[in-house]
Amino acid sequence: MSVDPDRHTRPIEAGVVRDFTENLSYGSYLHLDELLAAQHPLSRPEHHDELLFVIQHQTSELWLKLALHELATACEDLARDDLAPALKRLARVKHVQRQLIEQWSVLATLTPSEYGQFRGFLGTSSGFQSYQYRAVEFVLGNKNADMLTLFADDPTAQRILTDALDRPSLYDEFLRLLARRGHAVPEELLHRDVREPHVENAGLVEVFREIYADPERYWDVYEACEELVDIEENVQLWRFRHLKTVERTIGFRTGTGGSSGAAFLRRALELTFFPELYAVRAAL
């Protein structure tokens, strides 16, 4: 019995571009030669699982770059009273966060025995030193000027973090938009030092209580409030998955960057960005 080869292969269509001497290729557009050559495990002999560790952190940095891009533009949208596009960008940020959260499940396949065979080659490098993660926290409102001292030898990190420190946070811009719309946002919040972290304000809880009590009247800002809660919850889920991955991989050992490791990560779970959006739930 004869076999029809077309049933088992998919011929390349005649219109598919094959000549890339002048045409732009997928690899060239994405600079894949540089991207795929950027993994340099340091263990000697090279340990099989170090590539996983490197790729996990490199892809996280790419997602953080996109999150920063979207958050910064959302801040600009809010400053221009363009709430709709800001909500679209925040929705995208939430999907980026889910990617970052799920990535921990891949790294969690690394056992203590496997990680221990190359951990010493990491030296003092640590995810604690991710300036993009710090910038995301700054944009969301967890400002801490002391963090800049970690990047004294990195002009790019200094510039990005200083810019995020000096600018109003996402929450600052949202509160200013609410004030421009006539909501009674406490005056001290509209003129505060944006280089400092936000501190819970009882007067602001009342503003949100009014919004949550009549969502049909304030639908778009009501939706924005819930988007912010989603983003904070995703940050907390990321922090928790980070903590649990560290606990199962190194237990309660000190981190490579000098932190207390799991204990330090556990304390981060107490940090909040938008405290009034949680406090209002008890006030309704």
Binding residues for heme: 242
Known binding positions for substrate? 53-57, 115, 119, 256
Q: Check: CB of residue 98 under 8 Å from CB of residue 234.
A: yes
Known binding positions? 53-57, 115, 119, 242, 256
The three state secondary structure string of the chain is CCCCHHHCCCCCCCCCCCCCCCCCCHHHHHCHHHHCCCCCCCCCCCCCCHHHHHHHHHHHHHHHHHHHHHHHHHHHHHHCCCHHHHHHHHHHHHHHHHHHHHHHHHHCCCCHHHHHCCHHHHCCCCHHHCHHHHHHHHHHCCCCHHHHHHHCCCHHHHHHHHHHHHCCCHHHHHHHHHHHCCCCCCHHHHCCCCCCCCCCCHHHHHHHHHHHHCCCCCHHHHHHHHHHHHHHHHHHHHHHHHHHHHHHHHCCCCCCCCCCCHHHHHHHCCCCCCHHHHHHHHHC
Rounded distance, CA 253 to CA 119, Å? 12
Peptide bond preceding 45: is omega within 30 degrees of 0, i.e. cis? Answer: yes
